[in-house]
Structure 1
């Protein structure tokens, strides 16, 4: 099924509605607190931009776009609209009942994700000023996490904004990134892949190898392996490209969060320590399964592995030389280079 078929099979408006119904309620807060955190996040997003530009050496001039602070339902609606645009969907799905069923399923998944996401930069949408890309900050989740971690709200809000604004800088300074992602996504959703016989054969081979590996366990890597087992060679390459790029982008943003340092975020060491502890906490089996199916645990791995790569390269050659990574697709790290940064340095620099 092509991405166009997927887009037309889902009633995206219904997905947003169902997601809004199912979204967990926001943590309790007064109107004063709500207004304060919203205003603070707008301010922090503006304050983060020059700090990110200084640390990264990217986008030294130019206007600072305004972020958009949203609640969980608003994030779900924005995510559904972004997915509709990416998949070529329309306001009217191909079938009423099937469109509502697919919309309900999509909305339920978005509702699950909506309670954990602090912010998101969407490079594929258009902001109210007509510029490509929109930065969303989900204020109920920011409040929930800062309370859970017992950290200084002002510091935590700026720290979160540093990560998300870094993504905005990455894409605005390097516009080829969005096209690179779109091309890889198009390959992944292509309907010109292998026939059913080839898929079944690859799946059988994969399951046999898993059976023979006594150490194999279900989880993000196992599910990713299952996905790869039924893909064509081109789709596997595209998946590797997206995973490696995501690892770089997330690791770079995490590096910037900490590199800005205590001069701007006085309690940055405490925030990082408690945030990492939160990431490592065990979860109920059903939640672990949902996170694995949605790729959320794989995304957490991207943060850790990507930050280790960026930290190592910047430590050895400095940020200016590291920025060669943004020259084009050919200078992006290869999957093996993420694990061995010196190999990227030797090849590119």
Structure 2
């Protein structure tokens, strides 16, 4: 269904190599990002009260193509069950044309897989020049931290900020994600179980799929016309059961992204001397994207992720103000103490549910 090798080569062709740096400069960037990751881990542990409960691999400082390869591996892990389900629903049938028909069918499948590979590669190519770092959880427990060196260098140059300060600021955010998944070992399994639930809820009935595609295309057309639309590519495929899963995943990702934003801004003033200028320039750059890029980001669901940063940070800040950092950390006790979708914009409801009504009114 997907030519994954073609996806990688397409993304590599589209993304380019990044900013020009000498061999010596590149080596220095890699060494500093590794050093700053270790420093960030200490700062995050001291600020949050969370520390790794399981061993984890060292940070991987990668280029754009390496990042693409890593995410293709993760996509394959997610997509394999979908492909198996599709094949079980629609097993291959003997061709009335005999061997010739089989050859034609094979050729059609090859063309289809290449087209899909190009589509996947195009999307990954777009992301690969934007992502500064990622905690990748699909390839094995407990996950691995990736930092995309060319993108870090490119953004720090465009912003005109102090490189070391910016790199530490980025590391604080990404290391917080690693801390979340290594200090709370059950979190990865819970996340993967929700992803599997999304896959299991896939409805492969051709008529139902056709209806969703038609409705999705209409929603995307509206997104092109209406800048306020929240439609994304996901609207093409979601069943009602999948939307319920997506609501839970959105709440979870809003928590982890907001927590990372809260921590990086909380630690930043003490360890990143120019943090105020970095944050101001970074936010201004986010807001100043050209209209076409804004449209692409909205259709791919990236704008939803941007909202998660802001909504999640407000949610975490409200909880810490209400019950302190130790009280907030009860959120990591079990899947039952994670925020419900309805609680993200109503933090008092989470406090009342987890800490009791008295705490919510204090």
With the shorter chain as reference, the TM-score category is 0.7 to 0.9
Report whether the alignment pairs 1:221 with 2:230: yes
**Corresponding residue of 2:90:** none
Per-residue CA distance 1:48-100 (angstroms, 9 max, x = gap):
111111111111676664100011111111111121123228xxx98433222
CA drift of 1:256 comes to 0.7
What's the CA shift for 1:204?
8.7
Matched position secondary structure for 1:262 = helix
Is 1:41 the counterpart of 2:51 in the alignment? no
Larger deviation, residues 185-194 vs 95-104: 185-194
Aligned to 1:3: none
Q: Highest Rg: 1 or 2?
A: 2
2:272 alignment counterpart: 265
**Are positions 1:172 and 2:182 aligned together?**
yes
Partner of 1:318: 324
1:279-318 mapped onto 2 (5 Å cutoff): 279-285=286-292, 287-318=293-324
Equivalent residues, number: 329
CA displacement 1:160-216 (0-9 Å, x = unmatched): 0111111111111222222222222223233653856667778999999999x9xx9
In structure 2, distance between residues paired with 1:348 and 1:323: 11
Secondary structure of the residue aligned to 2:137 is strand
- After superposition, the C-alpha distances for 1:201-243 in whole angstroms (9 at most, x for unaligned) are 78999999999x9xx935561337945xx74432111010111
Please name the residue that 2:340 is paired with: 334
The structural deviation recorded for 1:44 is 0.8
Equivalence for 2:135? 121
- Name the CA shift for 1:22/1:204 in 2 (closer, same or farther; >3 Å): closer
In the TM superposition, residue 282 of structure 1 has moved relative to its aligned partner by: 3.5
Mapped contact 1:219–1:292 kept (Cα < 8 A): no
- The answer to whether the aligner puts 1:104 opposite 2:134 as a matched pair is no
Distance 1:86 1:206 in 2: 22
| Residues 283 and 122 (structure 1), Cα distance of their counterparts in 2 relative to 1, 3 Å cut | same
Aligned to 2:281: 274
8 A contact 1:14–1:104 mirrored in 2: yes
Gaps of 5+ in 1: 1-8
Indicate yes or no: 2:100 matched with 1:82. no
Partners of 2:142 and 2:188 within 8 A in 1: no
Which of 133, 138, 150 does residue 143 from structure 2 map onto?
133
* Structure 2 Cα separation of the partners of residues 344 and 40 of structure 1: 40
1:253–1:30 Cα change, 3 Å: same
CA distance 1:283–1:316, change in 2 (3 Å): same
Q: Do the aligned partners of residues 192 and 147 (structure 1) sit closer, same or farther apart at CA in structure 2, a change above 3 Å counting?
A: closer
Give RMSD over aligned pairs: 3.0
CA contact (8 A) 1:68 1:135 kept: yes
TM-score by length of 2: 0.82
Residue 6 of structure 1 corresponds to none
Match of 2:4 in 1: 12
1:52 maps to what in 2?
44
Distance 1:223 1:333 in 2: 24
Give the Cα–Cα distance (whole angstroms) in 1 for the partners of residues 7 and 19 of structure 2. Answer: 23
Q: CA deviation at 1:277?
A: 1.3
Alpha-carbon separation, structure 1, partners of 2:136 and 2:38:
17
Q: What is the alpha-carbon distance in structure 2 between the residues aligned to residue 278 and residue 267 of structure 1?
A: 17
8 Å contact from structure 2 (residues 11, 65) kept in 1: yes
